[in-house]
C-alpha cells in the first residue's frame, strides 16, 4: 500500500489531484478520527437524470482516490433539498391541477401526484435512492425536510440569525435593486397558507429563533425552528456545509457564483467552505447547453438503452473541466474506448494504471477479458443484416468469427448485442444509403470478389485484411483512404466503417461476396 500511495501522490489523474487537496486540508485526518464528508446535492422537483449520476460518480471517484492516499474514514452524503417551494408544475407528472393548488409550498408538504408516497418529495426522493442503488453507489441519504423539521438544523439557524446583517452585507451587492428591496436570507413558512414566503424579515430574538414579518397583511412573530422556515438557496448551501461539516462538494459551472457567495457566508457562520471541483456542462450535438426544459439532452435511460453503464462512466470520467457534447452519436465510441482502456490497464505499470479511466471506474478492481468483437464492428454487422435482425441471427454470424462463442462464455458480448440491435434499428438503419461503385472502384470490387472466392471459408481476418490492402494499393486509387471509403459507401451504406478484414470474417466470405454482387449489379 505504501508504494501505491507514493505513486498516487504523484499521479496527474484528476481524482488524485482532487484528493490531494483534501489531504492538504487534513494531513492527519479530522480531529477525533471523524469522517471526511463528501456531499452531492439533489433538487427533488424532478426525477434524477444523467447529471445526478455524473456528480455522484465523479464524487465517488474522488472519495476512492482519497482512500488510496489516506486511512481517514469518509462518508458520502446525498442531500435532497426537499424543503424548497414548488415554483412550477412539471410537465411530466399526473394530477397537475392538484399540484397547481399547492404551488409555493415545500415539496415535502405537497401530496404525491403519483399517489404512492406521503408527499411529492418523498416520491422523488425514493426514485433518487432507487436510481443510486441501481448503480451500487455507497452513500447516505439526508433530506432537507428531515433536518429542518427534526430540529437538527436549529442551532445552525440561530447562528444565521446572529449573523443576519453580515449575511445581508454579502448578498445585497449581488442582487438587482428590486430583488434587494425584498430579500431575506430567511424564508418563513406561512402558518396560514403553508407557502414558503419571499418577504423581508426582522430578527426579533436570535437565541430564541424568532423573526417578525408580514404575512398577507398581518404582522407575525414566528419561530424559524423545527421546520417553520427554510433558508434562501445560497445561504442554505453555506449553512448545510457548516452544520454537516462538508469537506468536499463538486458542482457545475452554472453554480460558480453561488459557490463564491456561499463560501463567504460559510466563513461568516464560523465554518470553512469545502474543497470543490467546478465541472463544465454538457452540450447537445449543436454545441448548445443541455436544458431539461428544452428537451435537447440525452437521458441516462437513453444512454443505457444504446450503450453500457461502464461506457457512460468512462465518458463522465474524461476531462470534467471541459465541455463535452452529450448525444447518441458519442455512445458507440465510448463503448469501444472503455474496452480499449480496460485491455491496456492490465499490461500497464502502476503509474499508467492510476491515470487510466477504468482504474477509477472500477476502483482498481478492473475486470479482465474482452468481447471477441468491438461494438463498432457489431453495429456494422447488424447494419448490413437490416433493422429486423435478431439476437439469434447475430450469434450465428459470430460463430464465423470466434469459436464456441455463446451468451454463457461471453456475457459482455451478450450485453452488447441487444443494444447494438436497438441502436441500429432506431438510429443507423434509417440513415444507411448505399451508392453504386464508379470508376476504378468497379474493377477493385471485382478483384476483391475474385480473391475472396479463392479463400477457404475459415480464412482469418488478418489474411482478408492483407488482400483488401493489396487491392487498394494496386487498384488505381489516389490513396488507401479512398478505397476504404468506397467499400463503406458501396457495401455498408455509410461514410465510415470497420476494419474490412474483420468485418468480412465476421459476416462470412459468402455473404460478403453477395454484398459485392449486389453493389456491382
Which residues are part of a known binding site for ATP?
Answer: 292
Q: Are 282 and 325 in contact (CB under 8 A)?
A: yes
Taking the alpha carbons of 163, 169, 230, 55 in that order, is the dihedral positive or negative? negative
Angle at 381 between CA 378 and CA 387, to 5 degrees: 105
Contacts of 158 (CB under 8 A, 6+ apart): 206, 207, 209, 225
**432/442 Cα distance (integer angstroms):** 20
The binding site comprises 292
Residue 2's H or E segment, with its range, is helix 2-8
Q: Would you state the cell numbers that stand for residue 78, as one nine-digit string?
A: 446525498
CB-based burial, 359-390: b 16+ in 10 Å, e otherwise: bbbbebebeeeebbbbbbbbbbbbbbbeeebe
Which residues lie across from 140 on neighbouring strands?
A: 77
Neighbours of 473 (CB within 10 A): 12
Q: Would you state the cell numbers that stand for residue 483, as one nine-digit string?
A: 478505397
Neighbours of 231 (CB within 10 A): 25
**502/473 Cα distance (integer angstroms):** 19
**123/111 Cα distance (integer angstroms):** 9
Q: Are 363 and 136 in contact (CB under 8 A)?
A: no
Amino acid at each position: 500500500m505504501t508504494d501505491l500511495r507514493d505513486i498516487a501522490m504523484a499521479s496527474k489523474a484528476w481524482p488524485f489531484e482532487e484528493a490531494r487537496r483534501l489531504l492538504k486540508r487534513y494531513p492527519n485526518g479530522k480531529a477525533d478520527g471523524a469522517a471526511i464528508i463528501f456531499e452531492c446535492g439533489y433538487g427533488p422537483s424532478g426525477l434524477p437524470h444523467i447529471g445526478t449520476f455524473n456528480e455522484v460518480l465523479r464524487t465517488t471517484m474522488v472519495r476512492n482516490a482519497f482512500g488510496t492516499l489516506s486511512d481517514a474514514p469518509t462518508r458520502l452524503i446525498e442531500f435532497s433539498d426537499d424543503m424548497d417551494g414548488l415554483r412550477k408544475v412539471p410537465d411530466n407528472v399526473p394530477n397537475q391541477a392538484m399540484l397547481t393548488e399547492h404551488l409555493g409550498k415545500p415539496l415535502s408538504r405537497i401530496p404525491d401526484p403519483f399517489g404512492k408516497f406521503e408527499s411529492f418529495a418523498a416520491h422523488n426522493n425514493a426514485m433518487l435512492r432507487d436510481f443510486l442503488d441501481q448503480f451500487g453507489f455507497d452513500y447516505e441519504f439526508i433530506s432537507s425536510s428531515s433536518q429542518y423539521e427534526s430540529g437538527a438544523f436549529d442551532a445552525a439557524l440561530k447562528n444565521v440569525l446572529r449573523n443576519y446583517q453580515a449575511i445581508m452585507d454579502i448578498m445585497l451587492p449581488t442582487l438587482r435593486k428590486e430583488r434587494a428591496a425584498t430579500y431575506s436570507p430567511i424564508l418563513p413558512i406561512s402558518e396560514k397558507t403553508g407557502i414558503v414566503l419571499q418577504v423581508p424579515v426582522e430578527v426579533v430574538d436570535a437565541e430564541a429563533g424568532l423573526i417578525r414579518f408580514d404575512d398577507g397583511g398581518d404582522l407575525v412573530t414566528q419561530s424559524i425552528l423545527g421546520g417553520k422556515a427554510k433558508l434562501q438557496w445560497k445561504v442554505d448551501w453555506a449553512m448545510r456545509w457548516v452544520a454537516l461539516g462538508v469537506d468536499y462538494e463538486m458542482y457545475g459551472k452554472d453554480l460558480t457564483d453561488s459557490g463564491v457567495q456561499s463560501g463567504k457566508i460559510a466563513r461568516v457562520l464560523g465554518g470553512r467552505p469545502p474543497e470543490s471541483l467546478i465541472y463544465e456542462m454538457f452540450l447537445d450535438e449543436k454545441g448548445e447547453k443541455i436544458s431539461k426544459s428544452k428537451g435537447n439532452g440525452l437521458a441516462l435511460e437513453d444512454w443505457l438503452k444504446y450503450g453500457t453503464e461502464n461506457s457512460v462512466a468512462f465518458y463522465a470520467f474524461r476531462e470534467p473541466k471541459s465541455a463535452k457534447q452529450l448525444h447518441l452519436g458519442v455512445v458507440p465510441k465510448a463503448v469501444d474506448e472503455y474496452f480499449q482502456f480496460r485491455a491496456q490497464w492490465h499490461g500497464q505499470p502502476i503509474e499508467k494504471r492510476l491515470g487510466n479511466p477504468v482504474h477509477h471506474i472500477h476502483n482498481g478492481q478492473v475486470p479482465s477479458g474482452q468481447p471477441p468483437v468491438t461494438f463498432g464492428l457489431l453495429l456494422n454487422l447488424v447494419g448490413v443484416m437490416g433493422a429486423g435482425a435478431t439476437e439469434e441471427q447475430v450469434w450465428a454470424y459470430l460463430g464465423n468469427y470466434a469459436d464456441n462463442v455463446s451468451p454463457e462464455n461471453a456475457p459482455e458480448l451478450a450485453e452488447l448485442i441487444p443494444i447494438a440491435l436497438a441502436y441500429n434499428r432506431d438510429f443507423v438503419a434509417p440513415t444507411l444509403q448505399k451508392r453504386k461503385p464508379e470508376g476504378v472502384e468497379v474493377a477493385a470490387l471485382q478483384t476483391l470478389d475474385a480473391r475472396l472466392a479463392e479463400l477457404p471459408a475459415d480464412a482469418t481476418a488478418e489474411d482478408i485484411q492483407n488482400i483488401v490492402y493489396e487491392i487498394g494499393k494496386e487498384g488505381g486509387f489516389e490513396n488507401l483512404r479512398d478505397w476504404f471509403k468506397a467499400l463503406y459507401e458501396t457495401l455498408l451504406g455509410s461514410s465510415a466503417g470497420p476494419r474490412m478484414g474483420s468485418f468480412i470474417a465476421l459476416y462470412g466470405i459468402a455473404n460478403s461476396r453477395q454484398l459485392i454482387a449486389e453493389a456491382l449489379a
